[in-house]
Amino acid sequence: MGRREAVRRKEGASVSRTGLRDQYNAWVQHHRLSAADSLLRVLDHPGSSLLTWLVIGIALALPVGLNVALDNVNQVTAAWDSPAQISLFLQDEVSVDRAKQLEVELGARKDVSETRFISREQALDEFRTLSGFADVLASLDENPLPDLILVTPAATLDGPAVSALRVELQGNSDVAEAVLDMEWLQRLNSLMELSRRLVWAVGAMLVIGVLLILGNTIRLAIESRRDEIVIVKLVGGSNSFVRRPFLYTGLWYGVGGGVLAALVVSAALWFLEEPIGELALLYESAFHLSGLGVMGALNLVILGGLLGLAGAWLAVSRHLVHIEPR
């Protein structure tokens, strides 16, 4: 037995487990290998990979692009937060002279940039020509419309200051009612809020779509490597070892999709920049289209990567456990 026993001892010693440090290094190395191998496999089929990237890219670009557009609209409406006009409806007994005097008085105020007096006769004429109720109006015994002064607040005033101005003008004894034309702005704001929510809803659905597409792509990748998975499990590969390359595949698809989404959004903005610049010029506005920015693009790529990982995880946890050596 002597010689054989000695030989076995020697063999037994080399069977002993590798050290923790070696294990860690090997783990890092397998991550590196899986990442590189998965990337090569993705690049090995440029046609189908590009298709997957495009699907993910467009699905991500849609909500992100809409969001950028909404941000830009927000930027425009922020400039309109101080509403344009306060309408002062005067008391019936106020004379035209007194009204014109009031117009000049108000016009002299620092917090008012412009005033315009519209007499009840003018208003009636205007109404007659615009409304098409000329016959009805002619049958009235007296003019039902009040005199009106339109007050444009100074551009330096913010929303609350304009409201305060309205309250102050309301207090004037010649004024029957002071109305701030804010309603359309509130409508616009609620419309914007609605759009934003719609964008979120669409975004959420598209994200789910991306997850399913990725899950399916990874499922196909798993199916095509079924034999390999069986062999790896037979020689002692753990589930995480088998899972790793597929997670990386998902990551690469997601990252590629994110990059494409950033490109699509940037291209769309570039395409719109010139006409919007011209439009802004016509409105004498300094409005400038703001894009994704470097951070936005980076976030998009990271989001894509995370979605890729999540989709791959979905597929792997559903399908990999069913592949066992038979």
Partner 1 sequence: MITFDRVSKRYAEGHDALREISVHINRDELVFLTGHSGAGKSTLLRLIMLMDRPSRGQVTIDGQNLAAVRSRGIPQHRRNIGVVFQNHQLLFDRSVFDNVALPLVIAGYDHREVGRRVRAALDKVGLLNRERAMPITLSGGEQQRVGIARAVVGKPKILLADEPTGNLDPALSAEIMDLFEEFNQVGVTVLIASHDLVLISRLHHRIITLRQGSMVSGSAS
- Does residue 171 interact with partner 1 by CB under 8 A? no
Among 31, 109, 176, 241, binds partner 1 (CB under 8 A): 241
Among 22, 177, 181, 193, binds partner 1 (CB under 8 A): 22
Nearer residue to partner 1 within complex by CB, 3 or 110: 3
- Does residue 270 interact with partner 1 by CB under 8 A? no
Q: Which stretch binds partner 1 (CB under 8 A): 84-92, 132-140, 223-231, 286-294?
A: 223-231
- Does residue 326 interact with partner 1 by CB under 8 A? yes
- Smallest gap from Cβ 16 to partner 1, in A, equals 10
- Does residue 15 interact with partner 1 by CB under 8 A? yes
Distance CA 55, CA 291 (A): 22
Among 237, 263, 268, 310, binds partner 1 (CB under 8 A): 237
Residue 162 · residue 80 · CB < 8 Å: no
Nearer residue to partner 1 within complex by CB, 171 or 236: 236
- Does residue 230 interact with partner 1 by CB under 8 A? yes
Among 74, 238, 285, 290, binds partner 1 (CB under 8 A): 238
- Does residue 44 interact with partner 1 by CB under 8 A? no
Among 51, 234, 281, 298, binds partner 1 (CB under 8 A): 234
Nearer residue to partner 1 within complex by CB, 122 or 239: 239
Q: Which stretch binds partner 1 (CB under 8 A): 28-36, 51-59, 200-208, 300-308?
A: 28-36
Nearer residue to partner 1 within complex by CB, 19 or 171: 19
Residue 197: what residue type?
A: R
Site for partner 1, rule CB under 8 A: 4, 7-8, 11-12, 14-15, 18, 22-23, 25-27, 29-30, 33, 227-228, 230-239, 241, 324-326
